[in-house]
């Protein structure tokens, strides 16, 4: 390798060590802000405290209360692999609790920040827990 290639490799290593630039952090903070704002407004529409959106684990508990699932669903939402299914079901129940369809619920599960912002800032009204009666126990 000649000197120019070595200098170029050193420059690339220096850039990687520097970490993400300011544009990344601006986009990242905007994304986090959109997520929190959407969840906050959704929780408030459902009569729950909006600040619960920023408390880890408690926000999942509040979601289970909004959709009418039992509290032990928080455990399902935290178990690896099982959480994917549980969060899809909670998303679908959340959509139905606000008068939306299954497709919107899948959107909540896959693109939560966008769909929770639509739910929170849109004209959807909370209609009560979609899974009332304890979810699977009522089936």
**Taking Cα atoms as reference points, which of 49, 39, 59 lies closest to residue 117?**
39
Residue with the two structure tokens 């209360």: 65
Q: What is the pLDDT of residues 44-94, one digit of tens each?
A: 999 999 999 999 999 999 999 999 999 999 999 999 999 999 999 999 999
Q: Provide the percentage of residues in the chain whose pLDDT is more than 70.
A: 93
Tens digit of each residue's pLDDT (9 = 90 or more) over 124-134:
999 999 887 54
DSSP sequence for 51-103: GGGGSTTHHHHHHHHHHT--TTHHHHHHSTTHHHHHHHHHHHHHHHHTT--HH
Biggest CA pair distance of the chain: 72
**Start-to-end Cα distance in the chain:** 69
Res. 139: pLDDT tops 70: no
Task: Summarize pLDDT for 4-18 with one digit per residue, the tens.
Answer: 888 888 887 777 666
Q: Is the dihedral of CA 121, 110, 64, 77 positive or negative?
A: negative
Q: Where are the domains of the chain?
A: 3-138
């Amino acid at each position: 390798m000649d000197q120019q290639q070595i200098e170029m490799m050193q420059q690339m290593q220096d850039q990687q060590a520097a970490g993400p630039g300011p544009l990344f952090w601006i986009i990242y903070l905007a994304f986090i802000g959109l997520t929190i704002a959407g969840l906050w407004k959704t929780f408030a529409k459902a009569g729950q405290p909006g600040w619960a959106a920023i408390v880890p684990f408690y926000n999942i508990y509040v979601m289970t209360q909004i959709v009418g699932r039992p509290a032990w669903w928080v455990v399902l939402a935290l178990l690896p692999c099982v959480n994917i299914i549980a969060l899809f079901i909670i998303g679908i129940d959340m959509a139905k609790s606000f008068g939306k369809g299954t497709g919107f619920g899948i959107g909540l599960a896959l693109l939560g920040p966008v769909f929770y912002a639509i739910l929170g800032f849109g004209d959807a009204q909370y209609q009560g827990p979609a899974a009332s009666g304890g979810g699977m126990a009522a089936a």
